[in-house]
Amino acid sequence: MSHLTALLSRPARRLALVLALLVVLAAPACAAASGSQTGQRAQVKPTIVLVHGAWADASGWDVVMGQLQRDGYTVLAVANPLRDLPGDSAYLASVLHSITGPIVLVGHSYGGAVITNAALGNPQVKALVYVAAFAPDAGESLTTIEMMNPGSEIGPTTLVLRPFPGGVDAYISPASFHSAFCADVPAALAAEMGASQRPISAAALAEPSGPPAWRTIPSWYLVATEDHAIPPVTERFMAKRMEAHTVEVASSHAALVARPGAVTNLILDAVHHTS
């Protein structure tokens, strides 16, 4: 037996040494691969989807979008149809489902109601950001929310109604646009914004919202303290109700144009907290 052990010992030892050497050589490579995969996971950035509201268009996000793109984010400024809340929400939901990876979803004004409905049940949406926006609960309409508190300059005396096949569009009158929508931007810019405003279907203002995504998705809210479209007290109520991370900024309703730096910072705060 001792003789047989002696015969096997040398090859066995050589095999053990070879295996040990392979383990030593493979360990750094495995560690590097693992570290690389971890690094790749850490570097995944969300797509930031920006949704404008009524009486505006996607170009209102231009400065915010540029800042986010310079920081390396993929940004999509969606053209909100502004036809009806269920249809607009379904349209946005279809856009979200076409995106791969995590999403931070941002809404301004009526766009807040759209993201509230479109994000429901979508696990890709990691954060909701409301910029002087409507954040309705189930059954509430924009009109219901506007009537909660006095202070809005948007109403029957400041809206111009224009029929279209199948409905009526609501515009803010040129005489009221600067004060009601963007009082803190230069008059020339306000005139351009008023001339290029996209109307909202009057029916969309009265349609009840569905179950809100903000009950299950972390939310951020920018209260525009000089807002003449949605009273700031109403914005504070909505932000508190959803337990949102809230900032207050001295801005008109058009905070994305008047205070793009503050809006960008709020979006990035949501990104960093949900990465």
Tens digit of pLDDT for each residue in 152-180? Answer: 999 999 999 999 999 999 999 999 999 99
Residue 203: its H or E element = none
Average pLDDT (246-265) is 98
* DSSP calls for 15-65: HHHHHHHHHHHHHHHHHHHHHHHHHHHHH--PEEEEE--TT--GGGGHHHH
Position 8 scores a pLDDT of 40
Q: Rounded to whole angstroms, how far apart are CA atoms 195 and 178?
A: 11
Tens digit of pLDDT for each residue in 114-162? Answer: 999 999 999 999 999 999 999 999 999 999 999 999 999 999 999 999 9
Nearest in space to 210 (alpha carbons), one of 145, 138, 107, 140: 138
Q: Tell me how far apart the terminal alpha carbons of the chain are, to the nearest angstrom.
A: 64
Tens digit of pLDDT for each residue in 14-59? Answer: 544 444 444 444 444 444 444 444 444 456 899 999 999 999 999 9
Average pLDDT (204-222) is 97
Tens digit of pLDDT for each residue in 190-202? Answer: 999 999 999 999 9
Q: Rounded to whole angstroms, how far apart are CA atoms 103 and 156?
A: 37
User: Which residue reads 């949102």 in tokens?
Assistant: 244
Tell me the CATH architecture of domain 44-274: 3-Layer(aba) Sandwich (3.40)
Taking a C-beta distance cutoff of 8 angstroms, is the pair 84, 113 a contact? no
Q: What percent of the chain has pLDDT over 90?
A: 83
Q: Is pLDDT at 239 greater than 80 in this prediction?
A: yes
Q: Where are the beta strands (DSSP E) in 158-269?
A: 159-164, 167-172, 200-201, 219-224, 245-249
Position 10 scores a pLDDT of 54
Q: Rounded to whole angstroms, how far apart are CA atoms 28 and 38?
A: 15
Q: Which amino acid is at 38?
A: T
Q: Rounded to whole angstroms, how far apart are CA atoms 160 and 3?
A: 106
Q: Residue 224 — pLDDT band, cuts 50, 70, 90?
A: very high
Average pLDDT (7-19) is 46
List the structure tokens of 225.
Answer: 């303290």
Tens digit of pLDDT for each residue in 26-38? Answer: 444 444 444 444 4
Taking a C-beta distance cutoff of 8 angstroms, is the pair 230, 223 a contact? no
Q: Rounded to whole angstroms, how far apart are CA atoms 56 and 60?
A: 7
Taking a C-beta distance cutoff of 8 angstroms, is the pair 263, 222 a contact? yes
- What mean pLDDT, rounded, does the chain reach? 89
Q: Rounded to whole angstroms, how far apart are CA atoms 87 and 228?
A: 27
Rg (CA), the chain: 27
Position 275 scores a pLDDT of 79
List the structure tokens of 44.
Answer: 């995944």
Q: What are phi and psi of 148, to 5 degrees?
A: -65, -40
Nearest in space to 57 (alpha carbons), one of 196, 195, 177: 196
